[in-house]
Amino acid sequence: MTYLGQFALWAAVLVGAWGAALAFFGKWEERPALATAITRSSYALCAALLVAAVALWKGIFTHDFNIEYVAAYTSRNLPEYYLISAFWAGQKGSLLFWAVVLSIFGALAQALTSQRFKAMLPYVAGIVNIVAIFFVMVMLFGGANPFERLAFTPPDGRGLNPQLQNPGMIIHPPMLYLGYISLTIPFAFAMAALLAKQLDAGWIVAMRKWALTSWLFLSVGITIGMWWAYVELGWGGVWAWDPVENASLLPWLTLTAFLHSVMIQEKRGMLKRWNMGLIVGTFLLTIFGTFITRSGVIASVHSFTQSAVGYFFLGFLMVAAILSFTLLYTRWPLLQPEAQLESMVSREGAFLYNNLALVGIAFSVLWGTLFPILSEAVRGTKITVGPPFFNKVNIPLGIFLLFLTGVGPLIAWRKASAANLRRQFIAPLLGGIVALGALLASGLRSPWALMSLSVSAFALVTVIQEFARGIRARMTMHAEGAPVALMRLVARNRRRYGGYVVHVAIMVYFVAFTGLAFSTKTTVDLQPGQTASLKSAYGHTWTFTHLGVSQYEALNRRVSAATLEVAKDGVKMGTIKSEKRQHVDSFGNPTFEPSTEVGIRSDLLEDVYVVYAGSPDGTERASFSLLINPLVSWFWIGGGILVFGGLLTMWPGGPQVKTARQRASIQAGYTVPLAGVAE
Amino acid sequence: MTGSRRQFLGAAVAAAGSIALRPLAAQDQSPLRTPDTTTVRGDLLRDPDGVGQRRDTVTAIDNDAGIIAIERQLKCTCGCTLDIYTCRTTDFTCTYSPALHKEVVAMVQDGKSAEQVVRFFIDREGEKMLMAPAAQGFNLAGYLVPGFGMLAAGLALAAYLSRRRDVVAVATAGGASTTAPDAESLARLKRALDEVDS
């Protein structure tokens, strides 16, 4: 099968290059048959890469340890569901995964895009083909070929890293990859629009669902990554500002900015250049993230092995940046706005500030991630930029953004009047003030926590107010009951109300992050029968009684499980088990250092988090890290709300959104040239 | 009789032993086991290596707020990106963070202040020991550039937009004063409005 895999990779390069050459040099505008051939090259590329993927999966599932990749990331006793995730667990497999998924997305873009945009499709195919064959070339020429064979066949493989043997790791990497990879499609449409000089709102309509899909995949991938970090790494947090985490956050931030500013382009025909710049920047940030993850240029706890592959991505990043921005520069005059901002106190103004905050946060994260390199280059001194730096810089910006999340929907388009502002802001401001008062009364004194929670309350009331007004209006106009009015309101304005639901999810994330800042922690040694206690941020006293350690064997590991009985203010709440796992191969030989599985008892208010650290003397006397983490469940609830809101926004059907130009023509209904009036 | 009593006792001990050891032997042959309850509380673990390296006994000073505050400022030198406190309470395979912790504890017990402890590690390991660079000299750029960048971008945006508004206003006003719509255009406008009204 490896020969077939190798052959498929080469076939993919050839067919991809052929399709790209036709797209850029084929004069297909004059010969429509060539446009069909270009589209078919996308399908052929997809088929070839699918064959390669099947070949690798066959090697993994048949335990062909003569394939170096299979021997490095699997073993005979690895559970089958982790054989699936072994495909993308290593550098080489993940590159193939990227290329395959990109080719599938490329083919789907050709198949699903409306014929209205057919002038762009050959360019889209060409750009997707180029990006996909770049990944295949890295595999073939960058020392990352997943079909490379060993000179001998080991009896068993090394197995999968224990930290990757977690359900979250089956979902988290593919979700992030899907987010990263699908971003190539909006980028390809943007480039196609520039190349074809079709710079009306068409390209936005053509790629909008792709951008939303990418955003949703990235959001889910980041959230599941947070969950994995929380349940697997044992430090009790969800976000450590690690460079690899930052690399996933950067395109999410700029894509979020794009999804907001593109609304201004659709409604008012403004910000065309900015939107082009944002989508190009977002794509480049995905390549930058790939470079960081795979080059080892910046220290990270969970990047791939340092290799020369990263520098292929650096080269690709530079070439893509130069070509994209040069193309954008040459089309600059064609991207004139159709309207001007009439007032900074308007919905457009709020969106601009929102974009400024999102891009500002992205810049500060990028700046902090790269600052160690800059410092070494300028001063010759190595420094560390860790969580204290990022928190100091980004918490104020984050709260400002949260404030804008609330403000944006309240302000009218074009120009808000004083009466409009008064009417819209009274309830949300009251909500924020009441929350602030309640928090102060409850004894909370941390300024950042007070700001975060009260601004969240302010923003939440804006969303409730928007829903309430919409429902009330429908009830009055259509004599509907409240539930029916709610359903119809949302069904007929999915983007708007889906967006509000996403806003609620972001507020919930902020609340959860604020809660986690009040985590309490201690380390203890306990003999069986001994008890330790820890006070939570709410003032509850949790007691932990060590019941003992049991040792047993499971499929691919030897397990030592320590069990604690927990009680809250003297009331028994059950037991929590934390494990040490020594993974072994099928001959019983240890494969990795012993890993830790945390024990968690979760409710809406706080998590009890137990980590069995080991034994001081080889007896049942056990060392534990004990944590009480407030409000952590709300991260996962927020994730659920976010997915619901995202899907609502993307759900097919509903009224067509009209572009600024379409609306203008409908409103006027005639054209009369009036001299001296700017467009 | 003596011989038979000895034989009886021997047989009884052997039977008791075989019963006592049977569960353990059975578990040894089985690839999949249920939780083991044979380990007596406080006894040696059957597989002490299965729980990783031996750990130092936790003492009160390991949870001392002052020690933790110092360790949170300092990076573990094992190659991870964690501070000493987080690393020693998270990565139980790390041998660096427990050693660094001992050094911090020893210095604090010798009467050194937090600043002196931190300074000691910076002098020995370099500035990279700090989890966040000190806000001085070139490092100030790290802290200030994002904020100033945003401020500058905001001001530039506001200035640009205000200039654009002025340009449009002047163009509109100027155009209106010099070229009024001609009679034909006005007639077309009237016809169009009539069509809309009807």
Whole-angstrom distance, CA of residue A295 vs CA of residue A287: 12
In this predicted structure, the answer to whether residue B196 has a pLDDT above a threshold of 80 is no
- Mean pLDDT across A423-443: 94
The amino acid at residue A575 is T
In this predicted structure, the answer to whether residue B32 has a pLDDT above a threshold of 60 is no
> Is residue A482 within 8 Å of A467, Cβ to Cβ?
no
Query: pLDDT at position B169, please?
Result: 61
The amino acid at residue A533 is S
User: Is the four-CA dihedral A79, A84, A89, A91 of positive or negative sign?
Assistant: positive
Whole-angstrom distance, CA of residue A500 vs CA of residue A646: 10
Rounded to the nearest angstrom, the gap between the alpha carbon of residue B161 and the centroid of all alpha carbons in its chain is: 41
Cβ contact, residue pair B41, A548, below 8 Å: yes
Q: Which residues in chain B (160-189) have CB-CB distances under 8 A to chain A? A: 161, 164-165, 168, 171-172, 174-176, 178-181, 185, 188-189
In this predicted structure, the answer to whether residue B21 has a pLDDT above a threshold of 60 is no
Query: pLDDT at position B183, please?
Result: 73
Q: Tell whether B122 lies on the interface with A, counting CB pairs under 8 A.
A: no
Cβ contact, residue pair B39, A353, below 8 Å: no
Query: pLDDT at position B130, please?
Result: 96
Cβ contact, residue pair B32, A522, below 8 Å: no
Whole-angstrom distance, CA of residue A127 vs CA of residue A617: 61
Query: pLDDT at position A617, please?
Result: 85
Cβ contact, residue pair A235, B90, below 8 Å: yes
In this predicted structure, the answer to whether residue A264 has a pLDDT above a threshold of 90 is no
Enter the tokens of residue A424. 């819209």
Sheet arrangement for strand A571-583: A531-535, A541-554, A557-568, A571-583, A595-597
> Is residue B75 within 8 Å of B128, Cβ to Cβ?
yes
Backbone angles phi, psi at A656, to 5 degrees: -70, 135
Among A647, A645, A606, smallest CA distance to A629 is for A606
In this predicted structure, the answer to whether residue B191 has a pLDDT above a threshold of 80 is no
In this predicted structure, the answer to whether residue B5 has a pLDDT above a threshold of 70 is no
Residue B131: list chain A partners with CB under 8 A: 384, 386-389
Largest Cα–Cα distance in chain A? Answer: 92
CA angle A79, A82, A87 (to 5 degrees): 140
Query: pLDDT at position B172, please?
Result: 56
Kindly calculate the radius of gyration of chain B based on its CA atoms and give it in whole angstroms: 40
Whole-angstrom distance, CA of residue A377 vs CA of residue B1: 94
For A592-660, the DSSP string reads S--EEE-EEEE-SSEEEEEEEEE-SSSBS-EEEEEEEEETTHHHHHHHHHHHHHHHHHH-S-SPPPPPH
In this predicted structure, the answer to whether residue A554 has a pLDDT above a threshold of 50 is yes
- Mean pLDDT across A481-509: 94
- Mean pLDDT across A487-508: 94
Query: pLDDT at position A675, please?
Result: 44
In this predicted structure, the answer to whether residue A426 has a pLDDT above a threshold of 50 is yes
Whole-angstrom distance, CA of residue A462 vs CA of residue A644: 19
Q: What is the mean pLDDT of chain A?
A: 90
Cβ contact, residue pair B132, A389, below 8 Å: yes
How far is CA A522 from each of CA A319, A623, B190, rounded to the nearest angstrom?
Answer: 51, 11, 81
Tens of pLDDT, residues A501-539: 999 999 999 999 999 999 999 999 999 999 999 999 999
Q: Long-range pairs for A25-30 at CB < 8 Å and ≥24 separation?
A: A26/A122, A28/A122, A29/A119
Whole-angstrom distance, CA of residue A549 vs CA of residue A546: 9
- Mean pLDDT across B122-127: 94
In this predicted structure, the answer to whether residue A366 has a pLDDT above a threshold of 60 is yes
In this predicted structure, the answer to whether residue A187 has a pLDDT above a threshold of 90 is yes
Query: pLDDT at position B56, please?
Result: 85
Q: Beta-carbon neighbour count of residue B40 at 10 Å?
A: 11
Residue in B89, B105, B163 to test binding to A, most A beta-carbons within 10 Å: B89
In this predicted structure, the answer to whether residue A581 has a pLDDT above a threshold of 50 is yes
Residue in A292, A379, A619, A665 to test binding to B, most B beta-carbons within 10 Å: A619
Q: Beta-carbon neighbour count of residue A433 at 10 Å?
A: 13
Q: Which of A445-459, A489-503, A643-657 has the lowest mean pLDDT?
A: A643-657
Query: pLDDT at position A671, please?
Result: 42
Among A228, A600, A522, A520, smallest CA distance to B89 is for A522
Query: pLDDT at position B20, please?
Result: 41
In this predicted structure, the answer to whether residue A674 has a pLDDT above a threshold of 60 is no
Query: pLDDT at position A57, please?
Result: 94
In this predicted structure, the answer to whether residue B36 has a pLDDT above a threshold of 50 is no
- Mean pLDDT across B2-30: 44
Query: pLDDT at position A677, please?
Result: 40
Cβ contact, residue pair B164, A341, below 8 Å: yes
Q: Which of B46, B51, B171 has the CB atom closest to A615's CB atom?
A: B51
Enter the tokens of residue B179. 């070229």
Enter the tokens of residue B20. 């006592």
Query: pLDDT at position A300, please?
Result: 60
Backbone angles phi, psi at A63, to 5 degrees: 55, 50
Tens of pLDDT, residues B178-189: 456 677 777 777
Residues 6+ apart with CB under 8 A from A163: A169, A232, A233, A595
Strands A599-602 and A606-614: antiparallel
Tens of pLDDT, residues B54-73: 888 899 999 999 999 999 99
**Residue pointed to by tokens 């990227």:** A98
Whole-angstrom distance, CA of residue A1 vs CA of residue A3: 5
Query: pLDDT at position B162, please?
Result: 75
> Is residue A182 within 8 Å of A109, Cβ to Cβ?
no
Percent of chain A with pLDDT over 70: 94
Query: pLDDT at position A342, please?
Result: 74
> Is residue A661 within 8 Å of A338, Cβ to Cβ?
yes
- Mean pLDDT across A337-361: 85
Q: How many CA atoms lie within 13 A of A563 on its CB side?
A: 12
Residue B83: list chain A partners with CB under 8 A: 386
- Mean pLDDT across A600-627: 93
Identify which has the larger pLDDT, A226 or A27: A226
In this predicted structure, the answer to whether residue B38 has a pLDDT above a threshold of 80 is no
Whole-angstrom distance, CA of residue A9 vs CA of residue A51: 9
Confidence of residue B128 (pLDDT cuts 50, 70, 90): very high
- Min distance B124 CA to chain A CA atoms (Å): 13
On the 0-12 / 13-18 / 19+ scale of CB atoms within 10 A, A144 is: buried
Q: Tell whether B12 lies on the interface with A, counting CB pairs under 8 A.
A: no
In this predicted structure, the answer to whether residue B4 has a pLDDT above a threshold of 70 is no
Instruction: Identify any residues that bridge with A565 across adjacent strands, giving them in sequence order.
Output: A545, A575
pTM of the predicted protein model: 0.86
Query: pLDDT at position B34, please?
Result: 37
Q: What is the DSSP letter of A156?
A: S
ipTM of the complex in this document: 0.83
Q: How many CA atoms lie within 13 A of A447 on its CB side?
A: 2
